[in-house]
Structure 1
């Protein structure tokens, strides 16, 4: 199902369902549609909210993890959100970690999937090859176990993004900000119960990264999905939703 975006001031977002908020943060090349299956699976239990982070459009001097954190802080305040189930993929996981440490009182549960924050192997940090469709297609396919998951629409979207010099400059700057921001010494202070859902075949944040998050975050549980790479919620949505649903029901029953 295609979900319509809403606009409130500077914020563009999807919001579906009722209940406690499930706030979802997308990755560097993420799109709101990446989480359609998560919305389908959880809108009956949660108020699922996905803001579009201004990765490509924010002023270059603000293009950093700190700038994205401030944006999410402003969004949460504008929407008056609390008791968050906070889910982040890739770069979105990194921002979710920063938010959880800055506002532990707001985060009831944390979910990370393919999160940066410890190590990531991406094309960020070097200038993406503008105008080279074959290269962009190869890099998008690299994020999936099954290259066919990288649909033409998805490749076209990434190609359009990387065809813009200002957008590329923001991508590189934010990617470098993420690479500099290793959180190994900080995430031991994460207070929220944390669910780690990792692709067993992740080439960008490999399985050992999931194990390291699990070792460092005190109250965390790690789950792997086979034949799955960096975006489990897209590539193996049924398995992802099943793991997350069981985890949330267990944690929220205990609490």
Structure 2
């Protein structure tokens, strides 16, 4: 590998840790990598600012789901810092009323009944329908959630509820951009990825077959190959 590759900053999704990118991080181990902390603040803009404060001067940015919301905010505030952008299974739109109602229900459930049931309630929505009974994958997702914890979960949910509409800002993105989405993603379906693709000039769109919202874990080899090839490794 030549020295022309910028460091990579990975931004995980809701209730996800660096484990959500473990297969990709292992494959890119000879590249400087930072996994962002997205659990300390209650707004997307504050999370983005915190990441920028600790990120390299220039970097490739990879955001999955909530990480995509944060990545789009970073591109709004500091586009000159991002050399390449990968958005995975995310959404440029603001929260709908129904989505907010569901999120507030989960915040209330966590505050009143505890957090232990929440990861199991969320798991079927995170994965392709064929993986709902995959115990190993479920355990990975639950473990990430428990490592994140209830207080960070509530902060993340509040940040997601209040996120801005990123669509007006996407046409200003000038860096090379790859959009990835699982073909069976029910949380941020392929049509939302297609919308982002249509708004970011020159972007590329890749559909990961037999994957839901977490292609990095559900189809790790395919996803890693797509990322490596697009980055030029």
- Cα drift, residue 22 of structure 1: 0.8
Change in 2 beyond 3 A, CA 1:247/1:168: closer
Q: Which has the higher helix share?
A: 2
- Cα drift, residue 153 of structure 1: 4.9
Residue 20 of structure 1 is matched in structure 2 by 6
Residue 243 of structure 1 is matched in structure 2 by 226
- Cα drift, residue 97 of structure 1: 1.2
Kept in 2: contact 1:124–1:171 (CA 8 A):
no
Residue 206 of structure 2 is matched in structure 1 by 223
Residue 70 of structure 1 pairs with residue 55 of structure 2: no
Kept in 2: contact 1:127–1:168 (CA 8 A):
no
Structure 1 runs (4+) deviating above 6 angstroms are none
SS at match of 1:88: strand
Residue 196 of structure 2 is matched in structure 1 by 213
Structure-2 separation of matches of 1:113 and 1:23: 14
Residue 160 of structure 2 is matched in structure 1 by 175
Q: TM-score normalized by structure 1?
A: 0.77
Structure-2 separation of matches of 1:199 and 1:119: 21
CA RMSD of aligned residues (A): 2.5
Residue 34 of structure 1 pairs with residue 20 of structure 2: yes
SS at match of 1:49: strand
Residue 183 of structure 2 is matched in structure 1 by 200
Residue 113 of structure 1 pairs with residue 92 of structure 2: no
Structure-2 separation of matches of 1:208 and 1:99: 23
Kept in 2: contact 1:140–1:150 (CA 8 A):
no
- Of 94, 98, 121, the residue aligned with 2:73 is 98
SS at match of 1:152: helix
Structure-2 separation of matches of 1:138 and 1:35: 22
SS at match of 1:230: coil
Q: TM-score normalized by structure 2?
A: 0.83
Residue 139 of structure 2 is matched in structure 1 by 152
- Cα drift, residue 236 of structure 1: 0.7
Unaligned runs of 5+ in 1: 1-17
SS at match of 1:185: helix
- Cα drift, residue 156 of structure 1: 4.7
- Cα drift, residue 132 of structure 1: 6.8
Kept in 1: contact 2:91–2:188 (CA 8 A):
yes
- Cα drift, residue 154 of structure 1: 3.1
Change in 2 beyond 3 A, CA 1:142/1:109: same
Deviations 1:156-189 (A, max 9, x none): 5525756x4x4454233112112xx111111111
Change in 2 beyond 3 A, CA 1:157/1:106: closer
Structure-2 separation of matches of 1:85 and 1:228: 24
Kept in 2: contact 1:125–1:175 (CA 8 A):
no
Change in 2 beyond 3 A, CA 1:219/1:154: same
Unaligned runs of 5+ in 2: none
- Cα drift, residue 28 of structure 1: 1.8
The structure whose RCO (Cα within 8 Å, separation 6+) is larger is 2
